């Protein structure tokens, strides 16, 4: 198998095992046995189990950016684009929502500082890509404020989504709409449009699940 396919198969095998026994109980030797490969084969791709979590979230980043490349040309408001990229990111994880929740809760356990600090950096990196995909381009110091706002919206929405069992995460979609609407006047791209530098009707229109086809 190619290097990429080996990496993907390792992640898939770990997720499959976690659906059966829970993420905490997954061991790398179990993953190796399920794929009929050695632990050294796994070590060449992942130096520790937590890197499998990063690889899982990398898939969501990739799905979000690929979708943005196809959809951004429609040029709706920045708020609509941010709604789409966040929901696309979450949808990419929906096949293993329960395991994703277990992964996050595992990172939050006391004594896991060595994975919590990289986890914070991971959040920042994902939010940066979301902002790029949505077209926010403010300079410092407004950029710092906007990044803080978007990070708060992302974390609140992610937390809500982890326990949302509604069809196509519709409750999460509405929750995110409210969060972005409340923050809109503080975000340069949204505020500029609402002041007349764009189509105010588009900027103030709440995105709905009918604005685009959700990723399933």
pLDDT (tens, 9 = 90+) of the chain, 216 residues, equals 555 689 999 999 999 999 999 999 999 999 999 999 999 999 999 999 999 999 999 999 999 999 998 876 666 788 999 999 999 999 999 999 999 999 998 877 666 655 656 667 889 999 999 999 998 888 888 899 999 999 999 999 999 999 999 999 999 999 999 999 998 777 767 655 544 444 333 444 444 444 444 443
Residue 88 near residue 213 (C-beta atoms within 8 A): no
- Provide long-range contacts, Cβ within 8 A and 24+ apart, for 145-150: 145/186, 146/186, 146/187, 146/188, 149/183, 149/186, 149/187, 150/82, 150/187
Angle made by CA atoms 166, 170, 174, in degrees to the nearest 5: 130
Domain count, the chain: 2
Q: Are residues 77 and 109 in the same domain?
A: yes
Q: Please give the pLDDT value at position 108.
A: 72
Query: Is residue 210 assigned to a domain?
Result: no
Q: Please give the pLDDT value at position 170.
A: 98
Q: Are residues 71 and 42 in the same domain?
A: no
Q: Could you tell me the CATH number of the domain that includes residue 58?
A: 1.10.357.10
Query: Is residue 211 assigned to a domain?
Result: no
Q: Whole domain around residue 158: which residue ranges?
A: 48-204
Q: Could you tell me the CATH number of the domain that includes residue 23?
A: 1.10.10
Query: Is residue 216 assigned to a domain?
Result: no
Q: Are residues 35 and 86 in the same domain?
A: no
Classify residue 140 by burial, with Cβ atoms within 10 Å: 0-12, 13-18, 19+. Answer: exposed
Q: Are residues 104 and 19 in the same domain?
A: no
Query: Is residue 180 assigned to a domain?
Result: yes
CA distances 1 to 8, 18, 34, 37, 54, Å, are 11, 23, 15, 11, 22
């Amino acid at each position: 198998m190619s290097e990429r396919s080996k990496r993907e198969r390792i992640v898939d095998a770990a997720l499959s095992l976690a659906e059966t026994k829970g993420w905490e109980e997954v061991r790398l030797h179990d993953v190796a046995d399920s794929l009929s490969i050695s632990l050294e084969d796994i070590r060449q791709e992942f130096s520790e189990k937590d890197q499998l979590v990063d690889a899982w979230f990398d898939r969501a980043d990739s799905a979000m950016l690929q979708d943005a490349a196809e959809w951004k040309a429609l040029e709706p408001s920045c708020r609509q684009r941010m709604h789409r990229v966040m929901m696309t990111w979450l949808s990419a994880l929906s096949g293993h929502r329960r395991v994703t929740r277990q992964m996050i809760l595992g990172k939050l356990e006391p004594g896991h500082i060595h994975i919590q600090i990289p986890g914070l950096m991971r959040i920042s990196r994902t939010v940066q890509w979301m902002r790029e995909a949505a077209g926010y381009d403010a300079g410092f110091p407004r950029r710092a404020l906007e990044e803080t706002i978007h990070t708060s919206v992302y974390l609140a929405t992610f937390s809500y989504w982890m326990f949302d069992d509604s069809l196509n995460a519709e409750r999460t979609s509405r929750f995110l709409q409210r969060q972005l609407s409340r923050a809109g006047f503080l975000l340069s791209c949204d505020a500029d449009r609402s002041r007349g530098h764009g189509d105010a009707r588009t900027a103030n229109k709440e995105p709905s699940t009918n604005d685009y086809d959700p990723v399933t």
